[in-house]
Structure 1
Amino acid sequence: MAPLAHALALLAMAVAAAAIDVVPLDMAWESFDDQYRGCGPAMTAALPALRLSEFQKNPLFTRLWVKAAAEWRKRGFRVSPLSSPAQAIAVMAYSSKDVHQQFNEAVRRAGRSPQEYRKNFHFKTLHFLLTHALQKLRQAQNPQCRNVFWGVPGTHFQARRGQAVRFGHFTSMFPRKEIAQKFGTDTIFQVVTCQGVDIRAFSMYPMKQEVLIPPYETFEVTQVIWDGKTTWIRLRSTGTYSKYNCEWLWKRTLGALPPRKTRPGHHSTGSGHRDPVSHEDTNDTYVTVATDVTDVTDVTVATVANIITQTP
């Protein structure tokens, strides 16, 4: 190889290597990890006003909601086994990927403090609905553990065997390694998840057979391998952990609420964790507001469409 060509090849390799981020895998302590244990009905009742406020503050969420609601109606208004049309639309909105990166980045930092969540996190509606939708789907699918894969481009994750970790955001994985590798091969995760659920019935792209894992599931790192090109990481579910619980309702109600937070570093029934083997959690009773169907279909679409036209 000529000296100039050789130098250019080395430069290209250096640039490619520099483009790979190295990120430590940890417990994602700044994640907003609320499971809304014990406050589903109260949170649902607060949803219409909260959703309207976020439609005004977050144009991206507004447009996404209209698109997802239209697709949901086109597919025949399916709700079961979810509790409400809003939950179905939330799953469809997330799976569209139009807001995937921005939403998950916001989830990963919204737990820095209660103030960060209240003032700067404008996906409260989507977070609540998506969390409850995954919980309902898990119940309907007879809680089970699944072996899934996640391919990540542009990032080498660092982890050590025996380490406790969380993803800290909603994470899409797939039952087949071949599908996961189409999304990236710099890091490949092989994960045994007991909280992740099959969302294909409400997904924009059901052919992907997507399994969605919530931010609060905890894992143990069981293997880390570097083969010179790809970092291979195996994780095994160990339960759940949440620092926050029913955060939006604090200072907004005079009624009794479940514990606001768990003690740092501890699992609790408040976080939905009982048995690290069975992964059984408490069964909450969910109710919906009577006007919810019209809110998320006809009325909301018309109102939001008007908001969109007024947004620069």
Structure 2
Amino acid sequence: CSALEPSLIKVWFILPACLPVDLSPVIGSSPTHGTKMAVSPLDMASESIDDMFDGCRSATASAIDLFGVFEWQVNINFSYAWALVEKKAKKPVHKHLKDDHAVVMYIFTRYASIRQTFNKALKTGKDNYSTGRFRFHYFYYYLTDAVQALSKYPTSCRTVYHRTGERFDQNIVNTNVRFGAFIWASSSKQPSWSYNNISCFEIFTCFGGDITYYSSSKQRGQVLIPTYEVFKVTDIVTNDPWCRVVYKLQSTKTPRTDQNYTSFAHVNPTVKST
């Protein structure tokens, strides 16, 4: 692995007092009764971004500020959110974490609009990852690195729960799946940030990291599951008192990453490829 040259120092710019940005910490809601919902696939998310930076963490860390300089300028919501929460985020107390890790975890859990935009870009961003069209290299790197630092794998795994207002394919028992995005899960079936009950997940995760200390939410047992963790669907339960459809997932303990820095190393964030 080779780092991009040179590493740039973080550059801040003054944001106007009022910006046309949506940074409301909106909690998702279920569709109105009777609304016809599309069925989303639940598969190996082959078009998602899944870089683990395995073996290249130090090289990536020395290059990542280059992306931050440009992505802060093109992602106004992200830049504004960073300026708002930088002093609210907790100082890191875990080994290998620094202030930027803490800030991205706080932003992810605080602002639904950024979380949704970011996850959408991850789910379909495989071809964009090596181009300037993907505008979250900085955010993705620090969130991934934080989850890895906070994960206890291989010493322990844990069961967590996730609720969503989406509908998914139900003909997938005994198949392997990935979320292809960061999943904010909880040790409780009733997380404070989601009241949806269309599709719920009981997840035995081994690569998820406990972000409770750094989250904007005060609830205990918060876990962030990375894009690359692979799960086997062991059962699907319908009409459960907790949720309309409950998917039970078991980590295979073998992640899948199709990128792992090979694309990242050659990105020029200033060039927006067509």
2:257 to 242, 245, 250: 242
1:182, distance to aligned residue in structure 2 (A) = 4.8
Normalized per residue, which structure has more helix? 1
Q: Kindly indicate whether residue 152 of structure 2 is the aligned counterpart of residue 136 of structure 1.
A: no
The aligned residue for residue 19 of structure 1 is: 36
Correspondence list, 1:77-116, <5 A: 77-98=91-112, 99-111=114-126, 113=127, 115=128
Q: Is the Cα–Cα contact under 8 Å of residues 157 and 187 in structure 1 kept in the other structure? A: no
Q: Is the Cα–Cα contact under 8 Å of residues 31 and 169 in structure 1 kept in the other structure? A: yes
1:34, distance to aligned residue in structure 2 (A) = 0.2
What does the per-residue CA deviation read over 1:176-203, in whole Å, with 9 as the maximum and x for residues that have no partner? 2133895211111111111112101111
Q: Is the Cα–Cα contact under 8 Å of residues 19 and 154 in structure 1 kept in the other structure? A: no
**Aligned to 1:236, what secondary structure does the other structure show?**
strand
Unaligned runs of 5+ in 1: 1-14, 253-312
The aligned residue for residue 84 of structure 2 is: 67
Provide the rounded CA distance (Å) in 1 between the counterparts of 2:80 and 2:141: 18
Q: Is the Cα–Cα contact under 8 Å of residues 224 and 232 in structure 1 kept in the other structure? A: yes
Correspondence list, 1:197-276, <5 A: 197-227=209-239, 230-238=244-252, 239-246=254-261, 247-250=263-266
Q: 1:159 to 1:202 in 2, by over 3 A?
A: farther
Q: Is the Cα–Cα contact under 8 Å of residues 221 and 236 in structure 1 kept in the other structure? A: yes
Q: Is the Cα–Cα contact under 8 Å of residues 146 and 193 in structure 1 kept in the other structure? A: yes
1:65, distance to aligned residue in structure 2 (A) = 1.6
2:208 to 188, 192, 196: 196
1:86, distance to aligned residue in structure 2 (A) = 1.2
The aligned residue for residue 187 of structure 1 is: 199
1:142, distance to aligned residue in structure 2 (A) = 7.1
Q: Kindly indicate whether residue 56 of structure 2 is the aligned counterpart of residue 39 of structure 1.
A: yes
Q: Kindly indicate whether residue 135 of structure 2 is the aligned counterpart of residue 122 of structure 1.
A: yes
Q: 1:179 to 1:88 in 2, by over 3 A?
A: closer
The aligned residue for residue 179 of structure 2 is: 167
The aligned residue for residue 46 of structure 2 is: 29
Provide the rounded CA distance (Å) in 2 between the counterparts of 1:22 and 1:144: 34
Output the amino acid matched with 1:69. Answer: E
Identity %: 27
Unaligned runs of 5+ in 2: 1-31, 269-274
1:69, distance to aligned residue in structure 2 (A) = 1.1
The aligned residue for residue 50 of structure 1 is: 67
The aligned residue for residue 15 of structure 2 is: none
1:87, distance to aligned residue in structure 2 (A) = 1.3
- Please report the TM-score for the alignment, with normalisation by the length of structure 2: 0.78
Q: 1:71 to 1:222 in 2, by over 3 A?
A: same
Q: 1:251 to 1:25 in 2, by over 3 A?
A: closer
**Aligned to 2:68, what secondary structure does the other structure show?**
helix
